Structures are given as C-alpha cells and as structure tokens.
C-alpha cells in the first residue's frame, strides 16, 4: 500500500514543485548573499549568531535553515500532510481505494508514511542544497561566526568549527528542525482526514504556525505564559548548537511538546477516520 501511495504522490506536480521551490530558494539566497558587500555580517536567529557568509560555503545551510524554518518549511510540510487524504477525496479516488477492501488504518498509515517521508525530504533538502550551492560559490572552509550572546561591546566571541564539526552540528540542527515540524504535520494531517478540500487542510497547518508565532511572549508579553506550549516557537533553538560549547536547554522540552502534539492530533485523526462516513 505504501508503494502504491508513493507511485501516486511522487510524480505529482505539487510534490515536484514544492521541492523545486525549496531548492531554488537556496540558490536565490546564495546569489543574494554573494551580491552583498564583502565581509558583511549576517545575523542569524535570536542568539544572535553573526556569520560572514562569504567566508565559507558551510555558513549558507545555517542561514538557509534559519530563513525557511518559520514559514517555507511549515508550508511545505502542511502541503504534504494536508493534501494527503483530502487530496484523494478531492480527486474522487478515496471512495474507490477504500471500496477495494483496503482497511482504513492501512490506508491512513500509507498516507502518513509517504507524507512524512516527503516532509523529511523537504527539511533535509534545504540545508543539503544550500551546502552544495554554498560550497560551489564560496568554497569549503571552516565555519566562523560571532556568538552575540557571549560577546560584549569590547570583545567579540568568535566561534570556529572545522568542516567535520560543522556538518555534525548542521545534521543535528536539521534533525531538530525536522522534529519541530511534527506538530504542524500532524495538525494538517488531521485536518486532511476531516475535510474534502485539501486547501483547507494546508491552510490550517500554516494557520497553526501563525497562531504559534503570534502567541509569542517575545512580542506579546501578556501571553508569555502560553509561549512554552506553542507548537512552533522554539524551532529555532538548534542555532545554539553553533555556540561554543553547544547549548541545549529548552530542546528536550520542545521535542517532548512535539511528541505530545503529534500524538494527540494523529490519535484523533485515526479515531475519526476509522468511523467516518465516506460520502464523497
């Protein structure tokens, strides 16, 4: 069933378009960075981490992942998860698949696995493409950044990582971002089982990202009490991997939060879909 689902989805124009758009973004980003003045510092995240993009191709994936994790990647993930079941309902092929004696759980599982696979590919694609393009344009040199949180007005704390350490930390960061998409993925997937309009499910996933972003104690002090429970706010903590030594506080909390959100949303999806009347 998973192979059937893969056959349906991988050649889908929307799938290829999403991957192409993400890859193209890294090219555009690299071009923009190459066009800016020599030695200019790029501020990354809230730490802040200041990197000089032109010094090494290894800095490009860090910047690319930072600039996609809050909107483009949640959007891509919401597309894959939100389109999965609702897209099939929209084509009218959902009733035929289920009328073939395919069990609801098996069907849902195949949808989940394939949408999950594409989502992970999307998250990995961004730093991978950025690394490739960045290395071609800026060369393969040790990654250097100024750790703003450890710096004072008089003294900049410069951190440098060799290529091996950079790749390892980048890999960990990518895995963290991928895991951080779990709540959005699960929410869009749940909506996908409830509606026959794929657009509504995708919009719902993106909507959750936006709600999470809005109810952020950093901008709205009144909702600070909610911030630790927002599904997407702490997706940027991976940047602390590039401090010396790496800071991991808050990561475990965020990952547990993802597991809880994903567990709840997917359980509801399973529970409702197994009982659902397929009338369309």
Partner 1 sequence: MAPSPPPILIEGLTKRLGGGVLAVDGLDLVVNAGQILGLAGPNGAGKSVTLKIMLGLVRPTSGRVELFGEPVRPGSEVLGRVGVLVDGPGFVPHLSGLENLRLAWRMTRRPDSGAELERAIEIAGLGAAIDRRYRTYSHGMRYRLGLAQALLGAPDLLLLDEPTTGLDPAHIREVRDAIATAAVHGATVVFCSHLLSEVERICTHTAVVQRGRLVASGAVPELVGSAVDVQLDVDDPDRACDVLADLATVASVTAGAGSVYVEGGSLRPADLLLVLDEASVQVYGFRRGRSLEDAYLSLVGGDARAA
> Going by C-beta distance under 8 Å and a sequence separation of 6 or more, which residues neighbour residue 90?
196, 197, 198
Cα pseudo-dihedral 52, 53, 58, 62, rounded to 10: 90
Torsion sign across C-alpha atoms 181, 86, 278, 110 = negative
Q: Which two tokens stand for residue 182?
A: 């779990």
Q: How far apart are the first and last CA of the chain?
A: 21
Nearest approach in angstroms of CB 199 to partner 1 is 16
Under rule CB under 8 A, residue 92 binds partner 1: yes
Nearest approach in angstroms of CB 7 to partner 1 is 6
Nearer Cβ to partner 1, position 36 or 103? 103
Under rule CB under 8 A, residue 155 binds partner 1: no
Under rule CB under 8 A, residue 272 binds partner 1: no
Beta-strand runs (E) in 11-71: 42-44, 49-51
Nearer Cβ to partner 1, position 72 or 109? 109
Under rule CB under 8 A, residue 233 binds partner 1: no
> Going by C-beta distance under 8 Å and a sequence separation of 6 or more, which residues neighbour residue 163?
58, 140, 142, 143
Under rule CB under 8 A, residue 94 binds partner 1: yes
Span of 92-100, 142-150, 163-171, 228-236 interacting with partner 1 by CB under 8 A:
92-100
Residues 2-41 that bind partner 1 (CB under 8 A): 4, 7-8, 11-13
Residues 95, 220, 221, 229: which binds partner 1 (CB under 8 A)?
95
Residue indicated by tokens 């089982």: 193
Under rule CB under 8 A, residue 104 binds partner 1: yes
DSSP assignment of 148-181, as one string?
TTT--SS---EEEE-HHHHHHHHHHHHHHHHHHT
DSSP count for the chain of H helices, then E strands: 10, 4
Under rule CB under 8 A, residue 101 binds partner 1: yes
CA distance 151 to 67: 23
Considering CB under 8 A, how many residues would be counted as binding partner 1?
Answer: 29
Residues 24, 31, 259, 278: which binds partner 1 (CB under 8 A)?
278
Residues 35, 38, 99, 153: which binds partner 1 (CB under 8 A)?
99
Under rule CB under 8 A, residue 91 binds partner 1: yes
Under rule CB under 8 A, residue 96 binds partner 1: yes
Under rule CB under 8 A, residue 274 binds partner 1: yes
Cα pseudo-dihedral 144, 149, 155, 158, rounded to 10: -10
Per-residue contact string for residues 133-152; x = within reach of partner 1 by CB under 8 A: --------------------
Binding stretches for partner 1 (CB under 8 A): 1, 4, 7-8, 11-13, 91-106, 274-275, 277-280
């Amino acid at each position: 069933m998973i192979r059937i689902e893969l056959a349906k989805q991988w050649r889908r124009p929307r799938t290829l378009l999403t991957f192409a758009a993400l890859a193209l973004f890294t090219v555009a980003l690299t071009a923009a960075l190459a066009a800016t003045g020599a030695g200019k510092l790029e501020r990354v995240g809230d730490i802040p981490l200041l990197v000089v993009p032109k010094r090494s191709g290894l800095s490009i994936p860090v910047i690319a992942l930072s600039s996609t994790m809050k909107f483009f990647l949640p959007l891509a993930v919401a597309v894959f998860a939100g389109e999965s079941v609702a897209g099939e309902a929209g084509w009218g092929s959902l009733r035929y698949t289920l009328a073939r004696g395919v069990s609801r759980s098996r069907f849902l599982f195949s949808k989940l696995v394939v949408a999950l696979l594409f989502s992970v590919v999307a998250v990995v694609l961004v730093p991978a493409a950025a690394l490739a393009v960045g290395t071609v344009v800026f060369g393969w040199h040790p990654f250097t950044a100024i750790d703003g949180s450890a710096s004072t007005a008089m003294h900049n704390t410069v951190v440098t990582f060799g290529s091996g350490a950079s790749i390892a930390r980048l890999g960990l960061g990518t895995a963290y971002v991928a895991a951080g998409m779990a709540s959005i993925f699960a929410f869009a997937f749940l909506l996908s089982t409830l509606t026959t309009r794929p657009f509504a499910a995708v919009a719902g996933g993106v909507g959750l990202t936006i709600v999470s972003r809005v109810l952020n104690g950093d901008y709205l002090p009144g909702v600070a009490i909610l911030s630790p429970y927002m599904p997407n706010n702490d997706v940027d903590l991976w940047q602390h991997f590039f401090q010396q030594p790496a800071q991991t506080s808050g990561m475990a909390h965020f990952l547990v939060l993802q597991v809880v959100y994903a567990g709840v949303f997917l359980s509801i999806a399973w529970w409702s879909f197994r009982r659902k009347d397929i009338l369309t």
